[in-house]
Amino acid sequence: MLDTFETVVPGIFVDRASCLAGIIVAGDRALVVNPGDPGLGSRLWEAGVRQVEQVLFTHHRRELADGLDELRELGAAEVVVPAAERELFEHPAAYWDNANTRWRLLCGHVPYHVTHVDPIPVARAVAEGDTWEWCGWKITVLATPGYTDGAVSYLVEENGQSVVFCGDLIYAPGMVRDFYCLQHGNEQNGHRVGDYHGFLGSMETILASLRRLPLQAVLVPAHGEVIAEPQAAIDLLDERFRAVYRNYGSISALRWYFPAYFAHVQGHGEFLPEQETFPLPPNVIHVSCTTWALVAENRRALLVDVFGPKDLAAATKLVETGQIAGYDGIWITHYHYDHMDTVAEAARVLDCPVLTDQVMAPVLECPTDWFLTCLSPNAVQVDHPTADGETWRWENYTLTAFHFPGQTLYHSGLFAVPDEGPSLFFAGDAVTPTGIDDYCTWNRNWLGEDVGLAYCLKLLRELDPDMIFNQHVEVGFRFSPEAYEIMLDTLAEREELFAAMLPWEHSNFGTDEYWVHTWPYEQQAVAGDEIRLEVRFFNHAPEMRDAWVAPLLPEGCESEPEVLRLPCRARAESMAVFTIRIAPDQPPGRLVIPFHIEFGGQDLGSFREAVVAVS
Ligand SMILES: [Zn+2]
Ligand SMILES: [Zn+2]
């Protein structure tokens, strides 16, 4: 009956569903590693297992525990977890109630929001070197951080046979499951960056963890393929990681801010030379920090971004000292808090309208609807949401607004052409004199010929502004025709390099975490209320794909419909809409509703969630 499962070595099996669950069987008893699939319990029962004695977790991702409740019906299994992640199993509310994991996220993304909803009682927390025996098998714990900080692997041995359950360190030879979980602070060449700036920051940790595994063992990852030849699989991963990193570093905007950090990448292949820079022209004032002003002939001005109260004070002072006659509007380059935290206050104090791209406006107007990195809880009323390419006259300028999916998908560009003098492009944080800003996967930078930064670069090349401005760079700059070529070629090569490493139909599924997300992410409700919840899918695949989605509700809550199957158009957003009735006796507090998701025939488990603040 055990032939329902795939044999790894005699006595050890995997169940291949939403994840690769490991099963060790002794008579009618079993030990399970990462029980991600809700159907696993019944399959074990049918295979003759009557008692699951231990359940081991390699790391704390929520969907790896989707099958745990069902296993509990097969006996009171002891749950074993990595000691470093114990709190995330036993007290997940501490994560959900922490504002630092929700707002202005630069680092609070790690440990990661695909976190358990209900507490999971832990029988044993284990760490490096712990060993025990189960039915003749020797189990040894190896600390293998990388996919998550506290992850462990389990080496299981008997009579010369050995298997390592290695979590999500590797997916298949030369592949990892995604890049967005590998975004992490790290140090290179003596320069340290935080999580936000650490693209593939977990790469070295992952490789070091993999190199610690006994190479005669068979590797069983939490997702992907059983790996019979670990050495070759890890070597290929190492080689591909380094090729991707060189490609990334060669045109990174971050080289402008932290040149030392990339010193080891320099000299490998095409490396974008630093581009020509210019002192600021008299009609562009760097007010303070990320706050800038575009000044007209009559000294009226347009503010570009307002970060904090200090920056607003600096802008006000320019009026008091007569350098500026007054402000006619505030343009927002993108939704990151360091560009708009005080915009609402500035609009009131300076009595001027707020303008920005219409794609970004909903994020600014109701931030609780979204879960995005660097998001501010301070809502901003956008008085004039601009259409892509919308042009208008303001004083001695012709201004054109653009949707400019550069550093983030929710980003604008402003092209200002004065009647006389150089043409200017306010590019937000999208580019610097050393290249493009895509060091944070959480920002949703898409790869593809006419999306993301490739789209932005083509637009800039066509507009050919005399000077480009980045809100963090205190000079103007421009890209040479060769620079555009290098950056676009590098991006095209990158798409192929990423695709080879990521097990998705398009690499954007493995870099854009929010290709599927709930909306609104967070809302308020009273017990007994009916609320509307959407699950939005952006299908990065070149063809139509089917999605299947179901909310996982606590007792007493109901959903209409209970399950939705929907076709998702290629390269477009589709949404599944649910009406959810909150139980009349739902206790006040934070209700986290996970959604079970399947896409393109792939079961992703409880991959996303929405939050309801019940009062
Ligand atoms: Zn930014
Ligand atoms: Zn910024």
CATH of the domain at 102: 3.60.15.10
The pLDDT score that the predictor gives to residue 111 is 63
| Same domain? 360 vs 455 | yes
The pLDDT score that the predictor gives to residue 267 is 73
| Same domain? 528 vs 470 | no
- For residues 183-206, average pLDDT: 96
| Same domain? 398 vs 466 | yes
Each residue of 70-116: pLDDT tens digit?
998 888 789 999 999 999 999 999 999 988 888 988 876 666 789 99
Residue 424 has pLDDT above 70, yes or no: yes
| Same domain? 141 vs 60 | yes
- Check: CB of residue 307 under 8 Å from CB of residue 471: no
Residue 268 has pLDDT above 80, yes or no: no
* 13 lies in some domain: yes
* 97 lies in some domain: yes
Cα atoms in the 13 Å half-sphere on the side-chain side of 82: 24
| Same domain? 154 vs 222 | yes
What ranges make up the beta strands (E) of 131-229? 131-134, 137-143, 152-158, 161-167, 186-188, 191-193, 218-221
| Same domain? 532 vs 448 | no
Spatial separation of the C-alpha atoms in residues 88 and 198, rounded to whole Å: 23
pLDDT band at 271 (very low <50, low <70, confident <90, very high): confident
CA–centroid distance, 374 to ligand 1, in Å, is: 8
Mean pLDDT, rounded, of the chain: 96
- For residues 607-613, average pLDDT: 96
Residue 302 has pLDDT above 90, yes or no: yes
CA–centroid distance, 160 to ligand 1, in Å, is: 53
* 247 lies in some domain: no
* 489 lies in some domain: no
Among all bound ligands, the one having the nearest atom to the CA of 372 is 1
User: What does the DSSP assignment read for 33-96?
Assistant: E----TTHHHHHHHTT--EEEEEE-SS--GGGGTTHHHHHTTS-PEEEEEGGGHHHHH-THHHH
- Strand bridging mode 558-560 / 516-519: unpaired
- Which of 228, 252, 286 terminates a domain? The answer is 228
CA–centroid distance, 609 to ligand 2, in Å, is: 28
pLDDT band at 266 (very low <50, low <70, confident <90, very high): confident
* 270 lies in some domain: no
Among 183, 186, 153, 180, smallest CA distance to 168 is for 153
131, exposed or middle or buried, with CB in 10 Å at 0-12, 13-18, 19+? exposed
- Check: CB of residue 123 under 8 Å from CB of residue 78: yes
Query: Hunting for tokens 């029988």 — which residue is that?
Result: 123
The neighbourhood of ligand 1, an ion, using CB within 5 A, equals 336, 407, 429
Residue 159 has pLDDT above 90, yes or no: no
Assign residue 518 the CATH number of its domain: 2.60.40.10
Residue 269 has pLDDT above 90, yes or no: no
Among all bound ligands, the one having the nearest atom to the CA of 289 is 2
Residue 253 has pLDDT above 90, yes or no: yes
CA–centroid distance, 353 to ligand 2, in Å, is: 22
CA–centroid distance, 473 to ligand 1, in Å, is: 12
| Same domain? 516 vs 475 | no
Spatial separation of the C-alpha atoms in residues 169 and 166, rounded to whole Å: 6
CA–centroid distance, 62 to ligand 1, in Å, is: 29
Omega before residue 465 within 30° of 0, cis:
no
The residue range of the domain holding 157 is: 2-228
Joined tokens for residue 598:
């399947």
* 492 lies in some domain: no
Among all bound ligands, the one having the nearest atom to the CA of 335 is 1
The pLDDT score that the predictor gives to residue 63 is 95
222, exposed or middle or buried, with CB in 10 Å at 0-12, 13-18, 19+? buried
Joined tokens for residue 434:
């050393």
| Same domain? 289 vs 387 | yes
| Same domain? 283 vs 183 | no
Each residue of 435-493: pLDDT tens digit?
999 999 999 999 999 999 999 999 999 999 999 999 999 999 999 999 999 999 999 99
- For residues 285-305, average pLDDT: 98
| Same domain? 447 vs 549 | no
| Same domain? 427 vs 568 | no
| Same domain? 155 vs 214 | yes
The pLDDT score that the predictor gives to residue 99 is 87
* 238 lies in some domain: no
Domain count, the chain: 3
Distance of CA 48 to the CA centre of its chain: 41
* 485 lies in some domain: no
pLDDT band at 417 (very low <50, low <70, confident <90, very high): very high
Spatial separation of the C-alpha atoms in residues 67 and 115, rounded to whole Å: 15
Residue 428 has pLDDT above 80, yes or no: yes
The pLDDT score that the predictor gives to residue 157 is 97
Q: Which helix (H) or strand (E) holds 520?
A: none
Each residue of 314-359: pLDDT tens digit?
999 999 999 999 999 999 999 999 999 999 999 999 999 999 999 9
